[in-house]
Every structure is written in C-alpha cells, then in structure tokens.
Amino acid sequence: MPEALLTYESLGLLVVSAVIGVVIGLTGMGGGALMTPALILVGIPPTAAVANDLVVNAVNKVIGAGVHWRHGKPNLRIAFWLVLGSVPTAYLGAWLVHAVGADDVQGLLKKAIGATLIVASSAYFLRAFFEMAGRIRTGDDPNPPVKPLITLLVGVVGGLMVGITSVGSGTVIMMCIMLLYPTLAALRLVGTDLVQAVPLVIAAAIGHVMVTGVDWDLLVPLLVGGAVGTFFGSKFAGRVPQGLIRRGITIVLAVTASAMLGASPALIGGIALVLLTAGPLVWRVLVRRYSVHLDAPAPAPAAPQPAAPHPGESATGLRASLPDSR
C-alpha cells in the first residue's frame, strides 16, 4: 500500500509518529500515552485513534518483548498473574465503551483518555523521582516473593484502562510492578513489563479492531514512522539524559490531559506556564532532598605509594635515605 504514504495527511502522520517513535526509542516509554492523544489532537476520531494505535503498539511490544526474553530475563511468575487479570478486561474495553450507549461516544472516550493521561503523567513523574532517589537501581533480587491477589488486581485494572484508552500498558503497570516488587532487579522489571504487555495489548487491539475496524491509511504511516523514529531514538538512547526527557513527557501529558478533558485554551496555557516555570524549581528541591547522588560520600583519596627501591637497595634503606618531612 505505498499510495497510503503519498498524501499530505499521511506525511503529517509519518512526522508525528516518527517524533513519538524517537521519544519511545530514547526512553523505552511513551506508546499509547503519547500517540493516542497526538492522533486525536490532529483530528483523528478517538475510537479510530485508540484502535489503530493499539495495533501499532502490539507490533512494537512483540519486538521489544522478544529482545528482553533473551536478554532481560523477565519474571514469568509476576507476568503470569498480571496477564491473567489484564487480558479479559483489555479485550472487553472496546465493547464496554460502545455498550455504555452514550450519545457522544467520541466525547466520552476523549474524557476517559484525559483522565488516564493524568494517571500516566503521575506515573512518569514517580518513575523519574524513584530513579533520582535510587529506588529503581537498588533492586537486585531476580525472584522476589510473588503477591498473587494484588498483582492480579493490578492486571484487572490496568487491562481495563488500556482496553478503553490504549494508555498505560507500559507506564502505569510498570510503576505498579516497581511499587509492589521494589527489590526486583531493574532489567527484570523492564523485561517483565514488556512480556506482560504483549498479550494485554494484543487482546485490547483485537477488541477494538472487531468493534471499530482498521484504517489502513492511518495504520501504515503510524507503523512506518514509528519504526523509523524508534530505531533512530534507540541509537541515541545512551547520549541523552533520560530523566530530563521523562520530566518533559510528564509536563506534556499533563497539558494534553487538560485538553482532552475540555479545558479552555486559557486554562491549558496557564497549566503549561505553571508546569514549565514551577516544575524545574520543585524538581530541584526534590533532588537536593532525596537524590542518592548528593548523599553518596565522596571517595577517599588514595594513599600515596612509596617509590619502588632501586635494584640492590632494600626498602628499609630507601626509607632511611628519605629526608624527614616533619
């Protein structure tokens, strides 16, 4: 379908998806939290935006989970309980939106996305804070004791959230995993989140495709642009401060949430201004108070080592020949 990429609308979608793909490649986060509201803001109906973004997200999750299956060593017991709860509710999400029978299904879904974006923005902030405070990096337990019931509940709620809005499969659920299992090794944390997200997003995508269908003119640019952007973003992931990017995403999501919830342009501008001006100041205070890098003691200077004695000269004779420095 090359003709799907040759229209002005498709070129615009390519640019949007490529930019978001770069952010995803840089941080490993983003997905539906960025793509779905971006599509809505450029004029795509919310139901179509959610359905097509879930299909794209499913493809990306499969690729990412394949990499982490080999290298990330996910905790399959935690993933099992999450999947057990999330897959049924994710599949039912699309049906639930239309079963409500509201006159304005698009408006209802838009507000649901806005509310979920507030949760996602809070999750981004918490992850940035915990990384700064050393909570994520301190975990080194590959197999912490599993909490089946509460993990199942997280899956149920997270699956419903993703099934309705496409937002939260990585951002929100990863935060819940981290809070439930703070000793879980960081690499296993990411791998576990990706593995549980694959069946979750696929189930949500199937539900939305059955209800809404797929728009190939929308889906193809999203797949191509997102893949290209993610590839280049991953190339620069080690050179860009991810904490700074995630704090920026937090602000973007909060402002976008206000737009999804129907705030006036003046209020949206005021929220953006407050977050851009006060946000860095608040973050600086938190860094001074909680950063593990500031609390870590400076390494002690290495003690000077005496020079090696010349051949034929004993170490005692060398010390005796040194002048008294007292």
Do residues 233 and 20 lie in contact, with contact meaning Cβ atoms separated by under 8 Å? no
Given this model, what pLDDT does residue 306 score? 55
Given this model, what pLDDT does residue 320 score? 44
Given this model, what pLDDT does residue 326 score? 45
Backbone angles phi, psi at 184, to 5 degrees: -65, 130
Given this model, what pLDDT does residue 302 score? 52
Structure tokens belonging to residue 59:
């493809």
Which residues touch 221 (CB under 8 Å, ≥6 apart)?
4, 5, 10, 11, 13, 14, 17
Q: Where are the chain's structural domains?
A: 2-294
Angstrom distances, CA of residue 104 to CA of 1, 39, 95: 33, 18, 15
Give the torsion through C-alpha atoms of 42, 61, 253, 260, to 10 deg: 50
Given this model, what pLDDT does residue 253 score? 86
Which residues touch 32 (CB under 8 Å, ≥6 apart)?
50, 53, 54, 57, 162, 165, 166, 167, 168, 169
Given this model, what pLDDT does residue 86 score? 93
Tens-digit pLDDT profile for the chain (326 aa)?
555 555 767 788 888 888 887 877 666 666 677 888 888 888 888 888 888 888 888 877 777 666 656 655 778 899 999 999 999 999 998 888 878 765 677 888 888 899 988 988 888 788 778 777 776 554 566 778 899 999 999 999 999 999 998 887 777 888 888 888 888 877 777 778 878 888 998 999 999 888 888 888 888 888 888 888 877 776 776 677 766 777 788 888 889 899 899 888 899 999 999 998 998 898 889 888 888 665 555 455 555 555 555 554 444 444 444 444 44
Distance CA 136, CA 172 (A): 15
Name the region of 197 (left: φ>0; alpha: ψ -120 to 50; beta: rest).
Answer: alpha
